[in-house]
Amino acid sequence: MLQQSLLSDWKFLDPQSRRWLSAQVPGCAHTDLLSHGLIPDPYWGRNEVALQHLEELDFIYRRTFEIDPAVLAEDRVDLVFEGIDTVAIIRFNGKELARVDNMFIGYRFDVTRLLKAEGENVLEIKFRSPMKEIRDRLTGEELIEWNDAVGGSSHLRKEACAFGWDWGPRFVSSGLWKPVYLEGWSGNRFRSVGVSQEHSRGRVKLGFTPRMERTAAGKLEGTITLDGKVVAEFQGAEVVIANPALWWPNGHGEQPLYTIELRWLDKSGRVLDTWNRKIGLRTIVLDRHPDEFGESFQFVVNGRTIFAKGANWIPADSFVARVTREEYDNLLSSAVDAHMNMIRVWGGGIYEMEDFYDLCDEKGLLVWQDFMFACALYPGDRKFLASVKTEAEYQVQRLAHRACLALWCGNNEIEQMPDKIVSTKARKKAYESVFYGILPEAVAQFDGATTYWPCSPHNPDGYEAGHNNERGGDCHFWDVWHMRKPVSMYEEKNFRFCSEFGMQSYSSLEVAKTYCNEDDLNVFGPVMENHQKNGAGNLIIMDYVSRLYRFPRDFRSLSYLSQLNQAYCMKVGIEHFRRSMPRTMGALYWQLNDCWPVASWSSLEYKGRWKALQYEACRFFAPALLSLKVLGEESIGKNNSFLSTVRGVEIHTVYDGQTPRQKATLAWSIETLAGKVLRSGSRKVVLAYGQSVLQETVDARKELAKYGASEIYLKAELVTEDGAEARRTAFFTAQRYLNLKRAPIRSKVKALSKTQYAISLASRTFHHAVQVNFPALEFRADDNFIDLYAGEERTITVTLSEPSNLAAVKDQLEVFSLVDSFE
């Protein structure tokens, strides 16, 4: 088999100027127009609004090429599109090959007889405006679409969030978003291969199911290597691997990947085609068994029950074709560094690129894979269902071999509107045809090893019984945020698995400046409001910030406080869920990343800058968790009267590290903000895998009565025998009531290399949430937004993306703490 790339030398017809211009493939119309200066930066200011007319335009893409004689010498030549977005007519040398309308399907066409052996071949793709196509498909019955402000998007199998979401802009584009090439082959070829694993003690039997293009007789042989060394050579469809190196999720072991090369031979022994993939040897089971709380929902990998720690993933750019492997690596490495072991690929985006899944395989990130359906009802006509069937079968075959693949999920949140699903017989039939018929049948046929789950969230008692059943299934909990409930409500819930929950924050000042001028840094102004896609989002952020902090002095302070609030909210929720194990066995917060610069629920800003939440995730997802729960609560009564029942702190540990047990030392102290130790304690503890333990309850009523809640805090530290250290601070009042002093923070900078610098910090008084920042430098700190205790010295190591020098780093260094955020 031979391939000839068709990625270069494309042109597109600009429908406004009627000029043929160079085009980038993979890409889309918006990015091509941008590259020629025909549109402004879509992310700047309110340009999104000014560019909405582009969704009404048709585009033509064309290229010419001469066929490689070696490719032409094969018996058959196919034209292959790995992805077309979305509605298009494909013409080859003047002949119409097909009309396509599904972004999530790869297309293959036999062009053997159409090819010109000499001279130019002409390939033309005529894209129709998605909006024109949608209007032609409207039937008069409105389908529910939560996030499409214009309506009709569920009629097209296209990236749903391209039509706008409550964190993303509306850019409805067209283009060739994945590779295009010619493929010449003779005799036969692999369409796909099914891979099965049977694990027994000390061995794994691999089974291969080749799905061939033709039914002609042939035979299968293969080679398996690990780290470049041949592990097995075999003939036939089975092979046994002795003493296998097992693949584990991040934090539980290594991620060895075996390279499989399968060869299909004809009767004479000639190799007709090869199939190369990397796989991990592992078992993954979604364990749902009856227990004292109802029904479990927990992932078991290689026999080990795993608490799923992670976040939800959205497309990393509104223009998905321009995301690079380096950008994927940066974002997913950030997840790994925060001890995450699972990423949920959310159903309103795309089935991700190969680079994404390669990196998840390599890094040990389990993937909860949604099918691409979200927050909408969908048509049930025969043509639409046939397209969905083709899509499901294509994507399951494409991804089934992946080591990281843990779950197939039918959709996002549609079962949160059961009344709408069952409102007519046609709607109910359409829903169940897809999510209880087509999708699970595709998984069963092409991936017998991976569980299918109908919806997230899903109630195992049936979707008509309502969502968020605390006795079983998974839940999305949004009362904190959308309903503005107190953050303490997380601690009232006992979900079996919480797959969505979140709190918004603002962009950092540095990222905000990438989409607006300083004059526009007002969250109620038109530009920043356009970069806040949740209707009441600004009011909700301000509401939650005001509950904890004083009024900010400027936007930089507001951004900082919003990020502290977001980190705090997720800490409360996730530490509660982890303390609740084994009742709760998963927490995936919303959301890991952004698709453009925006106020959102992400812990990583657009292009990967860490918010306070990402640093906090390193703490609350740590294998050895130290968790402090304040006993009692504060409230505001009539006439703004202040009430408090706060009386002490519970000190918990939770452990899910790689070793079965860890010895550790736990120490705590109640101190004044000036650093005076009022009372302390310490003892040896043993941390056991899968155990959440209340280690101590500290009654602080005497200290509170003598010094007052605004003058003291509880500090705790857990140090394990392998050197891991956890530090936590518990306050007895909201941070806005703390009597913080404005003492300076002294800083020293030491160069460790041209890209790595040690920042030492010290102060004579307590500082909360100390941030080290370099406005003009891209960097990652090993810790940040830390509590700096009176009289101690803390060192933060920062790594720059580009080499610098000591003088420049000193000049750029900013040190900011809570007391700096208000007048």
Query: Per the CATH hierarchy, to which homologous superfamily does domain 302-521+552-622 belong?
Result: Glycosidases (3.20.20.80)
User: Contact, 597 vs 589, CB < 8 A?
Assistant: no
DSSP 8-state assignment for residue 137: H
Higher pLDDT, 739 or 140: 739
Tokens of 585: 């066995």
pLDDT tens for each residue of 65-82: 999 999 999 999 999 999
pLDDT at residue 635, rounded to an integer: 87
| Residue 721: pLDDT band with limits 50, 70, 90 | very high
**Is residue 99 predicted with pLDDT exceeding 90?**
yes
Residues 6+ apart with CB under 8 A from 774: 798, 800, 809, 812, 813, 814
| Residue 764: pLDDT band with limits 50, 70, 90 | very high
Domains 189-279 and 623-739 share a fold: yes
The 3 state secondary structure assigned to 495-521 is CCCEEECCCCECCCHHHHCCCCCHHHC
Q: How far apart are CA 232 and CA 235, in angstroms?
A: 10
Mean pLDDT within 370-378: 98
Mean pLDDT within 3-28: 97
**Is residue 580 predicted with pLDDT exceeding 90?**
yes
pLDDT at residue 142, rounded to an integer: 79
- How many residues are there in the chain? 823
pLDDT at residue 95, rounded to an integer: 98
| Residue 203: pLDDT band with limits 50, 70, 90 | very high
CATH of domain 2-184: 2.60.120.260
Tokens of 491: 């601690």
Residues 6+ apart with CB under 8 A from 779: 798, 799, 800, 801
Give the rounded distance of the alpha carbon of 106 from its chain centre. 24
pLDDT at residue 342, rounded to an integer: 99
CATH of domain 623-739: 2.60.40.10
Rg (CA), the chain: 28
DSSP 8-state assignment for residue 157: B
User: Contact, 504 vs 540, CB < 8 A?
Assistant: yes
pLDDT at residue 579, rounded to an integer: 99
pLDDT at residue 637, rounded to an integer: 82
Query: Residue 337: what residue type?
Result: D
pLDDT at residue 590, rounded to an integer: 98
Q: How far apart are CA 810 and CA 84, in angstroms?
A: 49
pLDDT tens for each residue of 604-640: 999 999 999 999 999 999 999 999 999 999 988 888 8
pLDDT at residue 7, rounded to an integer: 97
Report the top-level CATH class of 189-279: mainly beta
Report the top-level CATH class of 741-823: mainly beta
Tokens of 367: 């993937």
Residues 6+ apart with CB under 8 A from 270: 187
pLDDT at residue 383, rounded to an integer: 98
pLDDT at residue 139, rounded to an integer: 85
User: Contact, 59 vs 23, CB < 8 A?
Assistant: no
> What is the percent of the chain with per-residue pLDDT over 70, rounded to a whole number?
100
Which of 186-200, 630-644, 808-822 is the least confident region? 630-644
User: Contact, 626 vs 726, CB < 8 A?
Assistant: yes
User: Contact, 153 vs 160, CB < 8 A?
Assistant: yes
Q: How far apart are CA 455 and CA 315, in angstroms?
A: 20
User: Contact, 89 vs 42, CB < 8 A?
Assistant: no
| Residue 336: pLDDT band with limits 50, 70, 90 | very high
Average pLDDT, the chain: 97
pLDDT tens for each residue of 531-572: 999 999 999 999 999 999 999 999 999 999 999 999 999 999
pLDDT at residue 141, rounded to an integer: 78
Query: Residue 221: what residue type?
Result: E
Which three-class secondary structure state does DSSP give residue 595?
Answer: coil
pLDDT at residue 521, rounded to an integer: 96
**Is residue 530 predicted with pLDDT exceeding 90?**
yes
Domain boundaries, given as residue ranges, for the chain: 2-184, 189-279, 302-521+552-622, 623-739, 741-823
**Is residue 224 predicted with pLDDT exceeding 90?**
yes
| Residue 709: pLDDT band with limits 50, 70, 90 | very high
pLDDT tens for each residue of 238-275: 999 999 999 999 999 999 999 999 999 999 999 999 99
Mean pLDDT within 420-439: 96
pLDDT tens for each residue of 495-526: 999 999 999 999 999 999 999 999 999 999 99
**Is residue 216 predicted with pLDDT exceeding 90?**
no
pLDDT at residue 140, rounded to an integer: 80
Q: How far apart are CA 490 and CA 492, in angstroms?
A: 5
Look at the block and give the residue holding tokens 């949740």.
534
Query: Residue 506: what residue type?
Result: Y
Q: Is the pTM of this model over 0.95?
A: yes
pLDDT tens for each residue of 464-475: 999 999 999 999
